[in-house]
Amino acid sequence: MRKLFAALCVGALMLAGCSLFGGSTTPLTTQQTVVNAYTASEASVTAAAVGVQKSVQAGLLTPGSTTALAIKAGLDAASKALDAANAYIAAGQYTAAQSQVDSANQQVTTAQTATPTVPADTTTTTPASGS
């Protein structure tokens, strides 16, 4: 009986946490799911593109190198897939859109894996004069 009570308490706490931290107990529609997946993928590709630029600027990635061109091909493929996904969403064809999103995610993951990571910003602040 005590174990059952404990299990019920844990379940209640999990549900409460879900509500507090934005989890939803309402099932998403296909449209919502695909649009959200698409939007997140857009953000991933954009972030990857920015990461690539930072990597080049930091001298960790040589422009024109085999690695750089492979990353470029991946980003371009992901970008084209998302263009197609956007068109499918506009046309209400969510299954086709999701397929393109999946393809984009696969491509961008490969590109991100190949991209050297720039160390976190270690900028130091300079104390104000006289302080």
Partner 1 sequence: MSSNTTEKTVSDVLLALEGIVEVAPALVQIISTIKNNGQITLDELNQIMATRQAAVAAADTALTGAG
Chain positions contacting partner 1, by CB under 8 A: 21-24, 28, 30, 32-40, 42-50, 52-53, 56-57, 61, 63-64, 68-69, 71-72, 75-76, 78-79, 82-83, 86, 89-90, 94-95, 98-99, 102
Do 55 and 116 touch, CB atoms closer than 8 A?
Answer: yes
CB 115 to partner 1: min, Å: 10
- Looking at beta carbons only, is 56 or 130 nearer to partner 1? 56
**CB of 77 within 8 A of CB of 107?**
yes
Instruction: Name the DSSP class of 131.
Output: -
Min CB(67)–partner 1 separation in Å = 9
Q: In the bound complex, what is the minimum distance in angstroms from residue 2's beta carbon to partner 1?
A: 35
Cα angle at 67 between 83 and 112, to 5 degrees?
50
Residue 76 CA to residue 42 CA, distance in Å, equals 13
